Structure 1
Amino acid sequence: MRFSFTADQRLLAETVREVLAKTCPPEAVRAAAAAGPGSAARPGPAWRALSDVGLLGAHVPEEHGGLGLTPVDTVLAYEETGRFAVPGPLVETAVAAPPVLRGDTGRTEAIAAGALIVSARPADSPYLPDADLAGLLIVAGPGGEVAIAEPDAGTSLTPHASVDQTRRLFTADLPETGRDQAAAEAFDRAALATAAQLLGLGRRLCGDAVAYAGQRRQFGKAIGTFQAVKHQLADVAVGLEFAAPLVYKAAYALAHGAATAPREVSAAKNAASEAAHRAARTALQVHGAIGYTDELDLQLWLNRVWALRSAWGDDGLHRARLRQALLAPQRSRIARLP
């Protein structure tokens, strides 16, 4: 299959990168991590900027104030949101919520306008990210049912420790208001957007590690001249370049309603997760002891990688989905044998 992004798709990503460079520098991410409940630093100025360029409403139908775009149209833009470690439940609000709320004009219009923040979680996770910011909570059940509630409707939030303080975790006991609607679609779209964010994070970490390897000196030489360091950084770059086509293929499959889309999404999430984790580990090794300190901006991206690896399906879940999808046809053929 020959595939390339259109000029409009690349333009959206470039626009997102430009606005995030202005509204989401490392200082803004640090402010979000240090902010208390109700602070304007969470989710921060980047949220309004992304609303203004249309990303929050990208997957909301045009008749509801959105852009009506497909995953192929936005996958590059979500790479950029990963590159800048944007605070707030962006994927949950802009990607997972629209399919579940399809037909709910008021709420989808509010999402597109940046007026409604949504916290959502799949059935395999107990945690709602940034639920204290949300005006709506969405929880998927094991049978595909979806519970939806507003936080002030008798909902109690319990905070839990999070490796990433810009992505705070909560559990909630939601009232029994079930909907059996689009849970699988929401999961696949959110997992894909998370994979794209991991890809962007990995590329940011790889770039930072390469730059620092050219500055840090040992034995009178920049460590970037050492063969072992070169090999490590090359392995990171190769892993990211191999993961990217899988992410783009999954976006294409989702956009065209392919029967193999869930399999492609799981392959993409696994590949992006592993590539970003290798980038994080290598960047930490290249920076040395200073990489462990909170004073270095590197921590912002490291923490986000570790947080997103388990978001919208961890490695084990997606490997299981991939294994089941690949082995199912073979098992079916074996069952038909005389």
Structure 2
Amino acid sequence: MRFSFNEDQWLLAETVREVLDKTCPPDAVRAAARADASARPGPAWRALADVGLLGAHLPEERGGLGLTPLDTVLAYEETGWFAVPGPLVETAVAAPLLVPAEHHERIAEGTLIVSARPAGSPYLPDADLAGLVVAGATVAPRESVTLTPRASVDATRRLFTDDLPAPNESAPHTGSIPADGGPAGEAAGSAAFERAALATAAQLVGLGRRLREEAVGYARQRRQFGKVIGSFQAVKHRLADVAVALEFAAPLVYRAAYSATHDAPTARRDVSAAKTAASRAAHLAARTALQVHGAIGYTDELHLGLWLNRVVALRAAWGDDGPHRARLRAALLDGPGPAAPRLP
């Protein structure tokens, strides 16, 4: 298959990059990690509403743009590059398929934030910011739900558990992919999972590219034995491996976006391939960036930790490597594999 993105798709991505460059610098992301709910997610959220990304997947009659996953996949790469705080994928990608239509205009306007969790996951990301929380078949106002803070590797993506009824008491561990089936509500939940996993994969590609750029820039400055470390063959090879991994992962993400847009029979398989490849490439980029920077990469002196922690957080979001690889293997070797986690 050969295709290229059209001018409008590139323009949306460029517009998102421009507004985030102004509203979401690393200092703003770091500030969001320290701020309480009243100061999060910050000006980047308002900017994304203004350019239409929050309502991109909503129909025009409900204040949205009526765009497809293929139209927005490049834009979600940019949100990964900048590590935008807040439950962006949950609000702008999953929620349009899960919450009642009367809430859609507020999502597009940026005045309603939604936190959602797939079946089998106990965690609601950034639920303290949300006006609505979605768990299984339940859509509830946040103030009616008891939230319990949990430890999160990413301080800009806080995690909470809730007291809502579990959609399936026998649901497997976090990130697992239970069997599909059921009425239209379950179909919407399954579609929400696929699209959220795809958008998260795009964010991981953006994160990987940002980490590679940070590593390359540092390798051109740091000196050892009288030479910049970027001149050492071992460092060059590690950075080249990252570049190769990202260049292989990105087309899989684009293929998954194409398949989701055109309802291809391989769409679920393609999403799992994209999420797996993007997760592994971003993880390699994170490890390499930390190795290039050395111990200083752990410190607050640099912003590297913002992207390192986001990679760890998003690898586990919307299906981790294990279940996606299992579904991909089943699709390739045994025919149609098990379905994705649902938000019925």
TM over 0.5: yes
| Mapped partners of 2:251, 2:325: distance in 1 | 18
**Residue 124 of structure 2 corresponds to residue 118 of structure 1:** no
If the length of structure 1 is used for normalisation, what is the TM-score? 0.92
Report SS of the residue matched to 1:170: strand
Q: Aligned residue pairs: how many?
A: 321
Write the deviation string for residues 229-281 of structure 1: whole angstroms up to 9, x where unpaired: 00000000000000000000000000001111110000000000000000000
Retained in 1: the 8 A contact 2:119–2:167? no
Moved more, 119-128 or 189-198: 119-128
Report SS of the residue matched to 1:39: helix
In the TM superposition, what are the counterparts of 1:60-209 in structure 2 within 5 Å? 60-101=58-99, 104-140=100-136, 146-153=137-144, 155-174=145-164, 179-180=185-186, 182-209=188-215
Considering only aligned residues, what root-mean-square deviation do their CA atoms show, in Å? 1.6
| Mapped partners of 2:245, 2:165: distance in 1 | 44
Residue segments in structure 1 that go unaligned for 5+ positions in a row: 141-145, 332-338
| Mapped partners of 1:203, 1:330: distance in 2 | 32
Report SS of the residue matched to 2:334: helix
Residue segments in structure 2 that go unaligned for 5+ positions in a row: 169-184, 338-344
Deviation at 1:79, TM superposition (A): 0.2
What residue is the counterpart of 2:297 in the other structure?
A: 291
| Mapped partners of 1:273, 1:176: distance in 2 | 27
Write the deviation string for residues 181-227 of structure 1: whole angstroms up to 9, x where unpaired: 50110000000000000000000000110111000000000000000
**Using CA pairs below 8 Å that are at least 6 residues apart, which structure has the higher relative contact order?**
2
What residue is the counterpart of 1:20 in the other structure?
A: 20
In the TM superposition, what are the counterparts of 1:230-241 in structure 2 within 5 Å? 230-241=236-247
What residue is the counterpart of 1:334 in the other structure?
A: none
What residue is the counterpart of 2:38 in the other structure?
A: 39
**Residue 248 of structure 2 corresponds to residue 242 of structure 1:** yes
Amino acid at match of 2:141: E
Retained in 1: the 8 A contact 2:152–2:158? yes
Retained in 2: the 8 A contact 1:78–1:197? yes
Retained in 1: the 8 A contact 2:330–2:336? no
What residue is the counterpart of 1:306 in the other structure?
A: 312
| Mapped partners of 1:93, 1:308: distance in 2 | 15
Deviation at 1:147, TM superposition (A): 1.8
Report SS of the residue matched to 1:329: coil
Amino acid at match of 1:39: S
| Mapped partners of 2:70, 2:222: distance in 1 | 39
Amino acid at match of 1:270: T
Moved more, 108-117 or 16-25: 108-117
Retained in 2: the 8 A contact 1:149–1:175? no
If the length of structure 2 is used for normalisation, what is the TM-score? 0.91
Percent identity of paired positions between Structure 1 and Structure 2: 74
